[in-house]
Structure 1
Amino acid sequence: MKPLNSKLQNEWIALNEAEETLKNLGFSYGGGWEYDHGYFDYKLDDEVGYTFLRLPFHVVDGELEQKNTVVQFDQPFLLAHKYQVGLDDNAGAGNLSGSFNQFSEPQDPDASIDHKWVKIAKGVLVEAENKLLT
């Protein structure tokens, strides 16, 4: 994980406005949503794993399912994860179902981030700031 400085941090924005603007820039809802916070993710790379620019936010007025919800953005960051090559060392059959766990443990769940992705992410972040803060 690599934190990034941003003009978005601590800004309050209507969630529906942020969603529409960010989806038009290629962001999608990230995993890990809760009742009071969530993420917008921009996929930068997915060849040997994935690298995302993540814009975290938390609710300051309303609830995530409501139309007029207001969110505050937290510090954006880059998130990288490398897939394990080959079979998972911990894979095994389930005791009751006889099914196999087909998902590999990550090789590096907090992988280092290539400088080229940092540079690209900063450009995407500036574009998002310009669209959301004007």
Structure 2
Amino acid sequence: MIEIPSRLEGKAFQLYKLEQQLKPLGYTIGGNWDYDHGYFDYKIADESGYQFLRIPFKAVDGQLDSHGTTVEIGRPFLLSHQYQSGLDDHADVGNLGAAFNQFSEPQDSDATFPETYVSVGKVLVQELERRLLD
């Protein structure tokens, strides 16, 4: 994980409006959100796994599944997930289990981030700052 300091840190936005601005740029709300926090993820590459720019946010007014929720942006960071090849050691058996757990566990959920993409991540953060703050 590589943190990228940003002018976005500590800034508050309505989650719905923020989502409307970020989705067209290629950001998605990551799957591991909770009622009080979550992440916008931007997939940078898929070199020996997946490399993401992750923008954390936390609810400051309401819960993430509520209408009109306000969130505060945390420090962006770069993250690399390296997935194992082959079958998952802990795969669910049966149709119902497989429907909810289709993917292999990460071989390394905090793998080394390729240096070539660090500058890409910094440029993406600068682009977000311009779009959301200026």
Q: How many residues align?
A: 131
Q: CA deviation at 1:106?
A: 2.8
Q: Which runs of 5+ in 1 are unaligned?
A: none
Give the greater-gyration-radius structure (CA): 1
Q: State the SS of the aligned residue for 1:82.
A: strand
**Matched residue type, 2:115:** H
Q: State the SS of the aligned residue for 2:10.
A: coil
The match for 1:107 is 107
Distance 1:58 1:15 in 2: 10
* Percent identical: 48
Q: TM-score, normalised by structure 1?
A: 0.83
The match for 2:12 is 12
The match for 1:62 is 62
The CA deviation string for residues 5-57 of structure 1, in whole angstroms up to 9 with x for no partner, is 11111111111121111112110111111111111000011242101100000
Q: State the SS of the aligned residue for 1:131.
A: helix
The CA deviation string for residues 63-102 of structure 1, in whole angstroms up to 9 with x for no partner, is 22233211101111111011223455x46886xx6x9997
Distance 2:34 2:90 in 1: 29
Distance 1:67 1:102 in 2: 30
Distance 2:7 2:45 in 1: 24
Write out aligned runs for 1:1-134 (5 A).
Answer: 1-87=1-87, 90=89, 103-134=103-134
Q: TM-score, normalised by structure 2?
A: 0.83
Q: State the SS of the aligned residue for 1:119.
A: helix
Distance 2:3 2:120 in 1: 14
Distance 1:40 1:15 in 2: 11
The answer to whether the 8 A contact 2:29-2:40 is kept is yes
Q: State the SS of the aligned residue for 2:122.
A: helix
The answer to whether the 8 A contact 1:54-1:76 is kept is yes
The answer to whether the 8 A contact 1:25-1:128 is kept is no
The answer to whether the 8 A contact 1:91-1:102 is kept is no
